[in-house]
Every structure is written in C-alpha cells, then in structure tokens.
Structure 1
Amino acid sequence: MKQALIVIDMQEIFFNYPQNHLLHNELVVSNINELIKQARDKQIQVIFIQHTSQDEQHLMSEGKEDWKLHKNLHVSSNDKIIQKSKFDSFYQTELLDYLKANEIEQLIFAGAQTEFCLDTTIRAALSLGYQHNLLYKGTHSTINGAALQAGDIIHHHEATWNNRFLTVMDEIKL
C-alpha cells in the first residue's frame, strides 16, 4: 500500500510564544523527525501542510516569521508543501489531487493542533476514502484549552480516533 506522511501545521507560532507552546513541543518535533527519517528511508512521500492566513496582518500570513515551518523540522527539497487556510487540509487545497496523482492509499498523520486541524483533516480523509490511516503517539500535540488540559485533549482524541478514523500506534516504526 503506497503511503504518505502528512505533517500538519508544525509552524514557528507554536514555538515563539510561551502561551502557544505545544505540550512536549521539542519531543514532538524529535518524534516527527524520526517519522520523516523512516519515511525517507522507505521512500514514502513527506507532505507538510502549512496554515496560511488570508489576512496579511495575521501572524500566520505568508512570509511572516510565525508562519514558517519550525526551523528544527527536517524539511527537504523533495518534500511537498501545501498551504491551507481552514482547519481541513483538503479544503480548497491541492492535497487530494496530489494524493490521487501519486496513487497514495494510506496516510500517516502528525502535527498540530490535535483537536483542530489534525482532527478535522483525519476525519475528512476517512470521508474521502482513506480507510487505513495511521498516527503514532507522541507525533502530535496541542496547547491547553479553556475546558481541558493539552494532555487530556490528546488522550481523548487518540481514544476517539483509534480503530474508527485511523489506527493509533505506540512505537514509531514504519
């Protein structure tokens, strides 16, 4: 089954301000980089999704420092970078066409934020026919919310997703 690793919104905004720091942010980057290394070793396409605000004044507008992919991610010129402006990485982007053109059948998800863009994209992927997707524990994160702490949000979503929307894996091994 041909796979692609999709890394969502791992951008500088989550590292530049203490109030936006993802839970275990540096460990998550390290784990994502391990996934990237394994993907490249197995010739699995790596796709970075980059949230891009349409408001030029917003911190996440194209070209701003906070908009850039995190400097410690192992991004290469062979990777595909797709910009999005909504929670759903498929909505009004080239992602679905790119996956179809490259005959990708299984998606491996990582990134931020667990309950927003990652969750929305995981659910959309299932609805679009991607039925056997994967997510590895420790490769996604979020910040504390008004109702729940980041760790509780992560735990809740992994429990909800597992064996419904994708398979949650413990060991980072492709």
Structure 2
Amino acid sequence: MKKLLIVVDMQNAVFDGNPRYDREGVTGRINALARAADAVIFIRHEEEGMMPGSDGWQILPELHQPAGSHYVGKTACDAFYRTGLDDLLGQLRPERLTLCGCATDYCLDTTIKNAASRGYALTVAADAHTTANRGELRAPQLIAHYNDVWANLIIPGNEIDVKSTEHILAAWR
C-alpha cells in the first residue's frame, strides 16, 4: 500500500471552544489527502468529554471519511501507546505513512516521533496540521517550528519528509 493517511484528533471536542489555526484550510487539505489515499486511519482521543459515542468524540463533520476508513482510539498523546495502531499498520503494510491533524505540538508531534523511532517511513503534510496559540507563541509559529523540527530530526536512515499537501498529492498521482 503506497498512500496511507493518518489523521490525528480532528474531533469536535478538540475544536469546541478552543480555536485552532486555519480550521477551514486544514480540513480542506486533509479532505484532499483523504480522497486521494488508498487507506485512511482516523485517530480519536478518548477522555472525559470525548468518550466513545459522544458528540465530542466524533470526527469533525466537515471531514471526509472514506468508506473503509479505519479508526483507532487512544488515551495518550502518542497514538501508538496502548493502542492497536502498530498491529493495524502491520496488517495494512504501508510503504510510507503520511500524517496530519491536531494538535501539532502535542499528539501529532508525539506520534510522529514514535513512528519514526519504530522505523516507519514518514511524510508530514506541512500545511494539514493545526494547533492553538500557546502563551506567547502563536499557532503559525508553532506549526513552522515543528515542521522544521520534523524535517531535521536526526534518525539515521529514516529521515522524515515534510511536504505541502500539493506536493504530496502530485507524488501520489
């Protein structure tokens, strides 16, 4: 499988009352990736206010969820921690994982670093992840910072590609 997309924590409760940078643009780019992917895995955080089946736990209504999408629940920032994600990836056998979602500086960052340490070949959709302002740091600064961190993370033999949605889609054609 060549085109596997992992969408992290794009859920109602994550966005309710907590403005995330460029929601409309990010969801549009995630939708473009989801439509072009061979398979999509949606990661859903589960905690108080986001319990399975609740409105807060649901994927944002504007996100396209292709037929046959996979869903993995998690309770930590890391989508691999005590979940079935690694087993699911073993079944799907992707050549590469493309990641996007929320929040750049928490769940996405932790999942990317763990996936890289596990040896997965990774692409991060540089313009298809979002976060909120954090103290003195604005969301666009955080997004740019983490894109740079991931692109320059030292993992010999397993560099992380950080590319725009447009470049990912062009490579997938």
TM-score (structure 1 length as normaliser): 0.88
Q: Distance in 2 between matches of 1:49 and 1:87?
A: 11
Kindly indicate whether residue 151 of structure 2 is the aligned counterpart of residue 162 of structure 1.
yes
1:171 to partner: Cα distance: 4.3
Q: Distance in 2 between matches of 1:34 and 1:119?
A: 22
Q: Distance in 1 between matches of 2:136 and 2:109?
A: 17
1:145 to partner: Cα distance: 0.6
Which residue of structure 2 aligns with residue 153 of structure 1? 142
Q: CA-to-partner distance for each residue in 1:32-71, whole Å, 9 max, x for gaps?
A: 00001111xxxx2110000011xxxx21222221111101
Counterpart residue type for residue 2 of structure 2 = K
Which residue of structure 2 aligns with residue 76 of structure 1? 66
Q: Distance in 2 between matches of 1:152 and 1:78?
A: 35
Q: Distance in 1 between matches of 2:95 and 2:160?
A: 13
TM-score (structure 2 length as normaliser): 0.88
Kindly indicate whether residue 109 of structure 2 is the aligned counterpart of residue 85 of structure 1.
no
Distance of aligned partners of 1:143 and 1:126 in 2 relative to their CA distance in 1, 3 Å threshold: same
Contact 2:13 2:56 in 1 (8 A): yes
Which residue of structure 1 aligns with residue 32 of structure 2? 34
1:159 to partner: Cα distance: 0.6
Q: CA-to-partner distance for each residue in 1:78-107, whole Å, 9 max, x for gaps?
A: 000110000000111110011112212310
Question: How much is the aligned-residue C-alpha RMSD, in angstroms?
Answer: 1.5
Q: Which runs of 5+ in 2 are unaligned?
A: 154-158
Aligned pair partner of 1:45 in 23, 39, 46? 39
Kindly indicate whether residue 96 of structure 2 is the aligned counterpart of residue 106 of structure 1.
yes
Q: Distance in 1 between matches of 2:87 and 2:116?
A: 15
Counterpart residue type for residue 86 of structure 2 = L
Any idea what SS the aligned residue of 1:70 has? coil
Q: Distance in 2 between matches of 1:70 and 1:171?
A: 19
Which residue of structure 1 aligns with residue 156 of structure 2? none
Any idea what SS the aligned residue of 1:61 has? coil
How many residues align structurally?
163
Distance of aligned partners of 1:106 and 1:163 in 2 relative to their CA distance in 1, 3 Å threshold: farther
